[in-house]
Structure 1
Amino acid sequence: NKVIDASAMGSMARFINHSCSPNCHTEKWTVGAETRIGIMASDNIPKGAEVTYNYQFESFGGMKHKCLCGAPNCSG
């Protein structure tokens, strides 16, 4: 029941792009009393490859965003 939004607080990870066929995944950790999200490689990522993960984006009351990632399994 949490929404992650890096617009107010975030690291360089906020620039990782979405893909419906990502090479990374997220893991939720609790450190002390704080929730942390780690981005982990799902497999070896070749040098120079784009780092991506599936945002599982949901719009709340606004305009829906069409996915244009171009992956073979793209949800569109």
Structure 2
Amino acid sequence: GEENEYIEVDEASAALAAAEIVAAKIGKPTPDFPEALQQVLPGVQLLGSLQKLARKAVKQVVKESELQELWAESDESAAWLA
């Protein structure tokens, strides 16, 4: 897709999940990263470009996406952005 394209909720959720896996693989998992996924991380191979792509995806989801809009409407938007 084009840069700065509006992202629907399903695509935004998938992008964030993929970014979570990339972060965990490079040793920076979120505190609530699933144990089951931690067990399969050794078998995951990352291309160097995936880290950059993951950061870009997260920035875009936070900036302009249906998921961002849904969180903004909730009482927990600050926790989501943390």
Shorter chain as normaliser: what TM range? under 0.3
Task: State TM-score, norm by structure 2.
Answer: 0.23
From the two aligned structures, give the one with the greater helix fraction.
2
| Bigger share in strand | 1
Between the two structures, name the one with larger relative contact order (CA 8 Å, sep ≥ 6).
Answer: 2
Calculate the TM-score normalised by the size of structure 1: 0.24
